[in-house]
């Protein structure tokens, strides 16, 4: 099973830019190598650092102040009714730029 960033994974892109005050709901693509199926999912964002730079709620990220945060995207799946496991993306850079988003 593979796991990549939805919309940000083209050409190995691992950076998500956002403005202060901007919120994005991020997606990921889960691929089953055995079945050859791909599905878009709403992953849980796991911050490695930068908790003062972004706020995370599930798959939604909001820029709080200018700076950089690093995260992994986590998706929980099952082998059967009694066995769950998590898969993660490679580290992702969440870069908050200095200007406020226009509303």
Please report, in tens digits, the pLDDT of each residue of the chain (103 residues total): 455 555 444 334 588 999 999 999 988 888 877 777 888 888 999 999 999 999 999 999 999 999 999 999 998 888 888 999 888 888 999 999 986 555 5
Number of folded domains in the chain? Answer: 1
Q: Domain residues for 15? A: 2-100
Q: Is residue 18 within 8 Å of residue 53, measured between CB atoms?
A: no
CATH number at residue 95: 2.60.40.1080
Contacts of 66 (CB under 8 A, 6+ apart): 20, 53, 96, 97, 98
């Amino acid at each position: 099973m593979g796991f990549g960033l939805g919309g940000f994974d083209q050409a190995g892109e691992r950076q998500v830019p956002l403005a202060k005050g901007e919120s994005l709901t991020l997606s990921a693509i889960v691929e089953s190598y055995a079945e050859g199926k791909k599905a878009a999912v709403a992953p849980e964002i796991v911050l490695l650092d930068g908790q003062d730079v972004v706020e995370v709620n599930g798959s939604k990220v909001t820029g709080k102040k200018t700076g950089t945060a690093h995260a992994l995207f986590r998706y929980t799946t099952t082998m059967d009714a009694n066995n769950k496991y998590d898969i993660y993306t490679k580290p992702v850079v969440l870069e908050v730029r200095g200007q406020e988003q226009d509303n």
